[in-house]
Amino acid sequence: MNVSDASVDFGHLVRRRPSAVVRPRSAAEIAGVVRSAAADGVPVAARGRGHSGYGQALTDGVVADMSTLAAVHEAGDDRIVVDAGAGWDAVLAAAWERGRTPPVLTDYLGLSVGGTLSAGGIGGTSFRHGLQTDTVLSLEVVTGDGVVRTCGPGDELFAAVLGGLGQCGIITRATLRLVPAPAHVRRQELDYDTVAAAALDQVRFISEDRFDFVQGQVRFGGSGRRVFLETYSEGGGDLPFLEFQHRLDAAEALLTGTGAWFHPHPWWNCFLPEPAAVDFLSTLVERLRPEDLGEAGCVLFYPVFTGRVRAPLVRLPAERIAFLVALLRFPRTTPRWRPGRSRRTAASTRRPASWVE
């Protein structure tokens, strides 16, 4: 990653050019960067996969490219130890070798562990397990004073870093809980006439614990608007579990191939209490037109029991059930701009990591 790459994020809506990009090889090197930058009054931002939508991870200071810290260190029956720059695809692959899986996986697996733990991390199993922040057993963190610390449940630092958007420390390593993974799942798509009926059924399904995965979608295509729930049940199905978890790989390949992945595409996410979410979704879907989201865009809605989300900085409504409502838009046109490659690097003996100017 060079400075040009680090100047924009996934949303391609905001640009902010950093003064430098570092490629740390260890938590100790990140700590050295933080101390050096703090002495000069320069902000530091950690960047995993840069998947934020509106410049949240951009800075005019120093960007720490976490892709150089992406190792899977240890996988057991009930836990896995990984660097913060590791992708959830790599975590799943290592866990799968032992017949295990993280309890909660995001739809798109090309996100970094540190990135989603700094934000929350929601998936179709969150109604049962909470967010990805609720599956963490311990963390290694570099704090603002440039010190490497370890923390776990009950520690103030642990509570501040999970969902803390990188403002309370840089996550460098995480120990994550694992659960047995099914070999196959029984996947279903349930169609509805209205989004209100779909959302109300979601609430019923999670309250009855009827399925192991529940997600709502609205898509617009050549046949018009489609409202449906995607569910799966573990055991007895014929769809391989890994195939389901990688279901977005083909879409990513198509969108990167056409260039839409690199074009500005605003995404919007919001947690709403159940009654307000149903009303909002109903009004929203009636007003949306196909061109508002693009052919690859969609509306997603996930229910979650708020009492199962423990990270205090992940702010949720006070009601028992909340919905994450997401509007995902992709453009139709191919962009003029694409991420470039690093053209030159410079090393500094004063700074312990590799820097790109």
Which of these is catalytic: 12, 51, 129, 263?
A: 51
234 belongs to the catalytic site: yes
Which of these is catalytic: 234, 252, 295, 319?
A: 234
Any idea what DSSP says for residue 97? T
51 belongs to the catalytic site: yes
Residue 2, strand partner residues: none
Q: Give dist(CA 150, CA 313) in Å, integer.
A: 19
Which of these is catalytic: 107, 134, 230, 274?
A: 107
Extended strands (E) in the chain:
20-23, 44-47, 62-65, 72-75, 79-83, 100-101, 136-142, 148-151, 170-177, 179-180, 184-192, 213-221, 224-234, 239-240, 267-273, 298-305, 321-328, 354-356
- The continuous run of DSSP H or E covering 274 comes out as helix 274-287
pLDDT (tens place) for every residue of the chain, 357 residues total = 889 999 999 999 999 999 999 999 999 999 999 999 999 999 999 999 999 988 888 999 999 999 999 999 999 999 999 999 999 999 999 999 999 999 999 999 999 999 999 999 999 999 999 999 999 999 999 999 999 999 999 999 999 999 999 999 999 999 999 999 999 999 999 999 999 999 999 999 999 999 999 999 999 877 789 999 999 999 888 999 999 999 999 989 988 888 888 888 889 999 999 999 999 999 999 999 988 888 889 999 999 999 999 999 999 999 999 999 999 998 765 444 343 333 322 233 233 333 333
